[in-house]
Amino acid sequence: MPNINAILLAGGQSRRFGSDKALISFAGMKLIEYIYRNLDQNFKKVIVVGSKAEYSFLKDAEIREDIFQNKGPLAGIYTGLYFSKSRYNFICGCDMPFLNNQYFSFLKEEIRIHPKKEIIVPRYNNYLEPLAAIYQRSLITKIKDEILTDNLKIKSFYNNSSKKVISEELLKRNFDLEKLFFNLNYPKDLARALRYLKEVDKIEKESK
């Protein structure tokens, strides 16, 4: 297997949440730190795309600020891929804390099976999950072209790229998708996230 980096998008104004959700308390640390630690255990390197001033508490993290400012998550994807030296990169946001090592291993196997695909992306509830997916670094030219024309939809470059879509049926055989792709969008979501966290802690304790 090739070395794979992870890119963690920390930017965004969290309008629906009302505050920077990356900085909320979660499992005795900040949410972004919880996600960062998980990625750091499963990938060669983690590149955090966000403010160096705000996220300096992430010790030893490589933090990069957006090359194109105020262009949304598409610019974050571009920045992460630009600074990554790895051909394959897992990209996620800072609001999905239950993406786990089993899922990462699953994606790595998909890379082995489909090494030429520029995008390997899961489908859930009939929607693609672009921030829980694998991207090849070679996509940066296509993404830059979309940014320069202000086509800032996060999947703007998908139609012009080769991709493997992982079916929901296959994912369901391996994962609890409601938990795996759980997204902290609103303050009310935090209670459910903490309930899921207790389940994760219980499973980890039982496995020891």
pLDDT of 205 > 90? The answer is no
pLDDT of 187 > 90? The answer is no
Domain tally, the chain = 1
Confidence class for position 13, pLDDT limits 50, 70, 90: low
pLDDT of 17 > 60? The answer is no
What pLDDT is stored for residue 170 in this prediction?
97
pLDDT of 185 > 90? The answer is no
Q: Concatenated DSSP letters for the chain?
A: ---EEEEEE-----TTTSS-GGGSEETTEEHHHHHHHHHHTTSS-EEEES-TTTTTTSTT-EEE--SSTT-HHHHHHHHHHHH---SEEEEEETT-TT--HHHHHHHHHHHHH-TT-SEEEEEETTEE-TTEEEEEGGGHHHHHHHHHTT---TTTTGGGS-EEEEPHHHHHHH--HHHHT----STTHHHHHHHHHHHHHHHHHHH-
pLDDT of 104 > 60? The answer is yes
CATH value at residue 146: 3.90.550.10
pTM: predicted TM-score of the whole model, two decimal places: 0.93
Q: Which residue has the higher pLDDT, 46 or 188?
A: 46
CB 79 within 8 A of CB 62: no
pLDDT digits (tens, 9 = 90+) for 42-79: 999 999 999 999 999 998 899 999 999 999 999 999 99
Ranking 39-43, 153-157, 201-205 by mean pLDDT, the lowest is 201-205
Pair of tokens at residue 22: 């990356």
User: What range defines the domain where residue 113 resides?
Assistant: 4-207
pLDDT digits (tens, 9 = 90+) for 108-158: 999 999 999 999 999 999 999 999 999 999 999 999 999 999 999 999 999
What pLDDT is stored for residue 12 in this prediction?
62
